[in-house]
Structures are given as C-alpha cells and as structure tokens.
Chains A and B, each alone.
Chain A
Amino acid sequence: MAKILEKRPLSPITKLYRVDAPLVAKAAKPGQFVIVRVRDGGERIPLTIADYDREEGILTIVVQEVGTTTRYLGQLEVGDEILDLVGPLGMPLEIPVEGHIVGIGGGFGSAALLCLMRELRLRGDTTTIINGAREKDLLILNEELGEVCDNLEICTDDGSAGFHGLVTERLQQMIDGDAPGRPDSVVAIGPMPMMRAVTETTRGKDIPTLVSLDPLMIDGTGMCGGCRVTVNDEVKFACVDGPFFDAHQVDFEEAVRRNKMYVRQEQESKDRTTCMKLAVGQD
C-alpha cells in the first residue's frame, strides 16, 4: 500500500501524485517504472517514475486517464492508498554520449523527463527539453521541467503556446544548427507515433536516440513475456531489458500492433467503468 500525499491536476486528463513509498523512492533511478494495482480484481499497469525524493521517501508519478485502471486511479484522493505499488522496475536510463542531450516529451510522457534530465545536467551535460502537446491546455509541468534543464522548448501542434508545430519539426531545426544547437544524443518519451517520428528524424544522422517503450505488462519482472519487443532482430522483454532501447533498432510496427491486442476488451472495460459508479477499493 502506498498512501497518496499530494494530488495535482496537470491537465484535464492528467494528474500528478506524490506517494509515500520510501523503499521504492530510495532505490529508484531515472528511467525506471513501477507497477500499480488499484483495486481487488484490478489489473497491473506500469507507470513511469517521474521523480523521487530519497530523503522524504516520496515517489512522484503522473497518470493520464486513458483506461480502466488509470480512471480508477484518478478517483483516488489525498489520504487514499494505492492498493499495490511495486518497483523500481526496468533498467535505469544510460546515455553513454556526453554533450548536448535533448529530451523530448510528448503528452504525459514529459513527466518522466523530470528526474532524468536533472541527473544528466548534474553529470555535466548541456540539457534541452522539448515539451510538446497538441494544445496549450494539454502541456504539463512547464515550470518544473524548466528548472531541471538548461533550455526548455515548448511546442504545440496548434500554436497555442510556444513553437507552432510538432516536436520533430523543432528537433529538425536544432539538428540543422538552430539554437540551442545540434543534439549529441536524443531521448524520447511519449506516444508511440511521436517516438517513431523522432526516431525517423534522427535516423542516419549519427545522433544516438533512445525511446521508452511501454508495451502491455503483467508482472514487470520478466515472468510473463507479454512485453516482448523486437530490437535489432532480437526478442527483448521491455520490463527487464528496457524500457529504453536504441530507437533506430526498434521494430515499431510490431510494437504498435502488439499494443493493440486488447483494444476491444479495453473499450469494453472502459465503457463499464463509465456506466457504473466508480467504487474504488471495492469489488
């Protein structure tokens, strides 16, 4: 059980939680994730660790309400307990290249850049965050992200804030020499189409690029193999070998297809939670 200490809406569908999880917070490293379950009979879903405070023993997670479990989670308030929270899981992010590192976050994926870019900056890298969303209202954590990097770039598809265009268009400008300059390495976290577009933007340009894959998982410890992805023609388990992989080697087509395996059931389950009163913690 992990008690919710703080809950903050970041956008109409995105919420930030700070939870009491001292052991996980103490062990967490940038890029890792936790698995949560919010009710008896509930599923186990992976959530990226946005940030951690080792001394206070507090873990920060950001949740976008897209499915059944995230909607149940969205109903929880300060003082409520998350039924099960386990981690930290996966391999921490490792960026061997030093220099100008560009972290690209799309939608709620930007949250994971918090601890990640802060650590890189502490290491001595020059850090840029490109924080993108469809529109201004969906942009999250601008202020916090600005504090952990050297340059914060904001992009919206509709131009309602910052650069008018896709994160990849802004990235292309930087690769072409625009300030703050060509990246030595790129890390992208967000929706699959966005990560795929970033991958194509840097392909063949000698810019090592990492993406954070989020396939379906159950245990998160290598036990089920449900999260298998193909990277460089090898089968990997995202939960123990990932979640970060060399973007230029990832079979995105397969990853996208596998993530759609339960679309029908996910919709059925979601419709059900819409119809019934969300009774969290009860069966």
Chain B
Amino acid sequence: MPVKRVQKTPMPERDAVLRSHDFGEVNEGYGIAHAQFEAERCLRCQDAVCIDGCPVRVPIPEFIHEIAKGDMRAAAEVLRSSNPLPAVCGRVCPQEVQCEEQCSVGIRFKPVAIGYLERFVADWEMEQTDIEITANLHRDEKVAVIGSGPAGLVCAGELARLGYPVTIFEALHAPGGVLRYGIPEFRLPKDVLDWEIEQLQRLGVEIQCNMIIGKTITMDQLMGEMGFKAVFIGTGAGLPSFMGIPGENLNGVYSANEFLTRVNLMRANDFPNADTPVMVGKRVAVIGAGNTAMDTVRTALRVGAEHGLIVYRRSDQEMTARVEEHQHAIEEGVEFHWLTNPIEVLGDDEGWVTGLKCVRMELGEPDASGRARPIPIEGSEFVIPVDNVVLSIGNRPNPLLLQTTEGLKSNKWGCLVVSDGSSETSREHVFAGGDAVTGAATVILAAGAGKNAAAEIHDDLAAR
C-alpha cells in the first residue's frame, strides 16, 4: 500500500565546496533503501497522469511499483522498453515541469521523485553483468540517422528494436552530440553516456563518427548508391548565437558551445595531459540563465575561476534553468546579476577582456514569450570587472545539411519544417526531430521526437 509522506526522499549530494573543484557527479544517486522508501509514496493511480507529462511516455507507476516490490530487474525492463536512455533522462530531465508536475501526490505533498527513481533503476542496471540484450535486425530496409544526440540515439534504438539495420552518422569524433560536448561530467558522467550508447550498439545500432552528411557524403548519396530507405535528421541546434555587441571578438570571449566543448569533448580541464587548453581568468561572466549557462558557470569554477557570475537581463522568475541546477549553482557560490543587460565587452590595449559594461533593467508587460519584458533603466550603465565572457544566449540549427540538400524546407530561424503533428520533412522518406526542428529545447523533448519519428518511419517503410 502507498505510504503518505509529505517530503521527497532527499537525493544524497556531494558537499558543495568539495564538488565545485572537481568534475565528480554532484548527485550521488539513491541506494536501494532510498529507492524503495520513495517508491512507496506512489499512489499507483488508475489514470496515471504522470505519463502524460513524459515525452517518451514511460509507464511510470509500473516501474515504480516494481521498485517498491524490490524487483529491480522487472523495473529495468519496464523502463528500457519505453526509454532507450534512462540513465541520461533520470539525470538531466526537467521533471518538475513534466512527470512530477502532473503527479497526483504533488497536489497536496511534494511529488514522487520520479526522476531520481528512474536514475536509480538505470544505475542498478548498469551494475548488472547478466542482462541479455541481443540484436535482432530481421528487416531488410536500412535506415540512416544523422546526428548522435538524444533524438538520433533514441530514434536509432527504437528502430533497431523494431528490427531495422540502423546506421548513425556523427560529425564529431565521439558519439552523443550535446550529451557529449554540452552537458558536463558533474551532471552526466561520460561513462554513463558511454554505457547508454553501448546498450544501443548491443541492439545492433551501428555508429560511424567523423561523417558529416552534406560534406563527406550527401543526402542523395545516402538515399541513392548507399541504399538507405529512410533517413532521420537529428542534427540538433549547434550554431551559437552572439549578441552583436561591441567587443565580442576580444580574446577571452567564448560561446558557451566553445567553452563547454573544450572541456567536455576535448578535456581541457586535463590540460596539458590533454592537448586542448581553455582560457579562464579569475572572474568569469556567463551571459544567460538557461541550463547551458548554469553548466558553463559551474564548469568555469571547476577549471580555476575564483568567481563565476551569471548575468541575465530578466529576473530569476524568468530564467529557464532547471530548479535543481539553479540551486546547485547557488550552493557552489555562483553570483547572480539579475536584471542586468550587457551592452559592451571592454578590453585592454592588447585585446584581452577586462570588463563587461551593463545596463540595469526593470520588468514591464509580458512579451511574446509570455515572460515580463525587460526594459533598460536610463543612465544606469555600470561595469563589472571580468576576465572572461561566455555567451549562453541560445543556439540555432546548423545550416550545413540544408545547404547541400535539395528539397528540405526550413523556416526563418533555420529550423527544419515538418508536417503538423508529425516528423515528416518536405522531402520524401526523410524525417526530422529534436532541436533541428524546434530550435534549442531539452534532451527529453528531443528523445520524444526521436521515438515518434521511429514509429513514423516504421509506418512509412511498411506502407511501401
């Protein structure tokens, strides 16, 4: 029987002072006792509304019930049948605005810690050595997946499960997309990501790195001489935006993409053992307040910055970061400059960053996004002394594939156009999903898009 308890079972975390100097994972994960204790809180609702909050529709009460019973193997089976990336999603999903927001327990108490439980099951599975996964690629139609981020990985996993031989083409030298180059080790350890990818390879998914579709080979080659019958485009939103303010090309100014890629993909934190450096002074200002901005400022602290600053033109009410990331950033000593809009990066005679000139803002009426519009306060300009500026103000889809592919339509933001309620692009047998379609969003929305696209590709191939 479900047990009434007001609070979530807390997630064991590493001490903020210790962890902000290394890349070890912040959240330590539930043990079996925590997990069963928390699982007892689930009401096992007949009408499980939590599932409606999940983009990949994990049968949440079912796997939680298995945890409560102590049958972790069954819990893992339930989870994996609906989500090919449980260890990732259990760590990086914004559960508070998805499954946990819907949770019935949450009406009166704190919702069930669905995310922590998902992670627990995946971590349990990771420790087992006797779980059988075998490839059964019994179909003939080859499918190509472009990009190995969350959308591509999930789409490929689902297709392989349906029996299709799938090849993922990845532009970088290692698979994972934003999970590899974007999300830091302290939030998503790379060995967890490697394990998830390994499970997909065990299902028969093939991954080819260093392949840029549109450059190394074209879409026409893929669908022509190479014989792929359908293609899924999951190329993400990897083109960083800049503000267009003076001083953005000074030495010491980075895009969040570059800063994080240097550390996460190229291991600049281990320079000079690894060959790629990253330039970090004492004071690092990160512009923006999304999850990427939090990842960036916390990474800056871990590679030697003494002060990590978030500079955001709106207030903490409008920030888009997950609650937990914001909380962790506060604990680690990040300084927040809300209602502060940068207008110029200042530099010295040799072109190095020395400061960020800002103007104070106040909030006005809601704008098109529904959030209060920030308005500059006249005459309030001031300078924050900093050594580095990192822009984390969003990304747009990369145009490389579009430039060389006939018949693919995009909108004015460079996002691929798909039919309403589907992932069909303007080109026959070519499907797309994730950030490449929506613009920069979350891992789980991309995963959901990849899963839906796999079902559509299956229908498309079956109808031929």
| A interface residues with partner B (beta carbon < 8 Å) | 23-24, 27, 37, 41-44, 68-69, 83-89, 218-219, 221-226, 228, 230, 235, 240, 254, 257-258, 260-262, 265-266, 268-269, 272, 283
Q: Check A257 against B216 for contact (C-beta < 8 Å).
A: no
Which chain B positions have C-beta within 8 A of A218?
Answer: 258, 261-262, 265-266, 276
Known contacts A27-B215, A86-B212; A225 and B258 CB within 8 A of each other: yes
Contacts between chains A and B (CB distance < 8 A), count = 117
Pick from B2-10, B17-25, B237-245 the stretch touching chain A: B237-245
Q: Which of A27, A84, A86, A235 contacts B248 (CB 8 A)?
A: A235
Which chain B residues numbered 148 to 174 have a C-beta less than 8 Å away from chain A?
A: 171-173
* Chain A to chain B contacts (Cβ below 8 Å), 26 pairs: A23-B216, A37-B173, A41-B270, A83-B173, A86-B212, A87-B215, A219-B261, A221-B171, A221-B212, A221-B238, A221-B400, A222-B239, A224-B240, A224-B255, A224-B258, A224-B261, A225-B242, A225-B255, A225-B258, A257-B351, A260-B251, A262-B279, A265-B277, A265-B279, A269-B271, A272-B272
Chain B interface mostly helix, strand, loop or mixed?
A: loop
The SS class assigned to the A binding surface is mixed
When the two chains form their complex, are residues A223 and B270 in contact, meaning their CB atoms are under 8 A apart? no
Interface centre among B211, B216, B261 (most CB of A within 10 A): B216
Q: Are B171 and A86 in contact (CB under 8 A)?
A: yes
Contact A43 B275 (CB under 8 A): yes
Q: Which of B211, B240, B271 contacts A223 (CB 8 A)?
A: B240
Q: Does B217 sit within 8 A of A, measured CB to CB?
A: yes
Q: A43-B275, A84-B173, A86-B210 are in contact. Are A224 and B257 (CB under 8 A)?
A: yes
- The listed residue (A219, A225, A228) touching B172 by CB distance below 8 A is A219
| Interchain CB contact (< 8 A) of A221 among B262, B276, B398 | B398
Cβ of B249 within 8 Å of any chain A Cβ, yes or no, is yes
**Interface positions of B (Cβ within 8 A of A):** 171-173, 181, 209-212, 215-217, 238-240, 242, 248-249, 251-252, 254-255, 257-258, 261-262, 265-267, 270-277, 279, 350-351, 398-400
Complex Cα gap A230–B351 (Å): 14
Given A87-B216, A224-B258, also A219-B171 (CB < 8 A)? yes
Are A235 and B257 in contact (CB-based, < 8 A)?
A: no
The answer to whether A240 and B400 touch (CB under 8 A), given A68-B275, A226-B258, is yes
A230: nearest chain-B partner, CB-CB: B249
Leading 5 A-B pairs by shortest Cβ distance = A224-B258, A265-B277, A86-B210, A41-B274, A43-B275
User: What distance in Å separates the Cβ of B306 from its nearest Cβ neighbour in chain A?
Assistant: 19
Do A41 and B275 form a contact, CB below 8 Å, given A218-B258, A221-B400? Answer: yes
- Determine if A41 and B257 form an interchain contact, defined as CB atoms under 8 angstroms apart: no
Give Cα A272 to B273, complex, Å. Answer: 9
* Contact status of A223 and B249, CB under 8 A, knowing A24-B216, A218-B261: no
Known contacts A85-B210, A219-B171, A240-B400: does B239 contact A43 (CB below 8 Å)?
A: no
Q: With A and B bound together, what is the CA distance between A124 and B386 in angstroms?
A: 55
- A110 to chain B minimum Cβ distance, whole angstroms, is 25
Docked complex Cα distance between A37 and B172 (Å): 11
Asked if A41 contacts B267 (CB within 8 A), the reply is: yes
Q: Give the CA-CA distance A262 to B272 in the complex, in Å.
A: 12
Complex Cα distance A268/B216, Å?
Answer: 34
The residues of A that contact B171 with a CB separation of less than 8 Å are: 86, 219, 221
Task: Tell me the nearest residue of chain A to B248, going by C-beta.
Answer: A235
- A43 CA / B267 CA spacing, docked (Å): 9
- Given known A-B contacts A222-B399, A223-B238, A89 and B277 have beta carbons under 8 A apart: no
Chain A residues closer than 8 Å to B242, beta-carbon distance: 225, 228, 235
